[in-house]
Amino acid sequence: MTPLQSRNAAYALALIVPAALMGGALISQYGFGLFPCQMCWWQRYPHIAAIVFALLAFTMKGRGASDMAVILAAICVGASGLIGGFHAGVEYGWWEGVTSCATVAGGGNPLDAIMNAPVIRCDVAPWTLFGISLAGFNFLISLGGAVLIFALLGKGRKGA
């Protein structure tokens, strides 16, 4: 892989990884009714920021500025992964997490929406695959993606 190909792959991954993870989170929420707890929301915010930084990287003029935007995107992806790792640890009972839970309010009468909203616990995994929760998958994919983005960007910078 040439340095230019490495750099382009880093840019693509900086957008694809957080976009795919956010897409999966939204599909699980709206398609399968797996509503996010508070810690799930915390994992989404860095992915949203990463998508913005990655999109900025594609629009910026100058290699230094666009590389910096990709670096910031990778940091955000890694931060989401670390939050996901903490959340997975809470779900597996390895340590204690936050004490508050999130609710999902619906439309209509606000009081009815609050009273009928489901309580989403942060310490219970609503879904697992091979014993790995969604937070655990976010940890694995995000940290792996962030490391790969940094590695590809570093390889792309060496050859330039």
Question: pLDDT, tens digit, for every residue of 39-84?
Answer: 888 999 999 999 999 999 988 877 788 889 999 999 999 999 999 9
Q: Which residues pair with 119 in a beta bridge?
A: 103
d(C-alpha 74, C-alpha 146), whole Å: 5
Percentage with pLDDT > 70 across the chain: 85
Contact 3, 160 (CB under 8 A): yes
Q: Hey, which of 1-15, 46-60, 119-133 has the most confident mean pLDDT?
A: 46-60
- Section 103-117 average pLDDT: 63
d(C-alpha 92, C-alpha 37), whole Å: 15
Contact 7, 157 (CB under 8 A): yes
Residue 3: pLDDT over 60: yes
d(C-alpha 105, C-alpha 110), whole Å: 8
Q: Name the residue with higher pLDDT: 118 or 137.
A: 137
Q: How far is CA 4 from CA 1, 63, 79, 128, in A?
A: 8, 11, 26, 38
Q: Report the number of distinct structural domains present in the chain.
A: 1
Going by pLDDT thresholds of 50, 70 and 90, the confidence category of residue 38 is: confident
Residue 27: pLDDT over 60: yes
Residue 33's H or E segment, with its range, is none
118 closest CA partner among 30, 43, 36, 31: 36
Domain that holds residue 89: 3-158
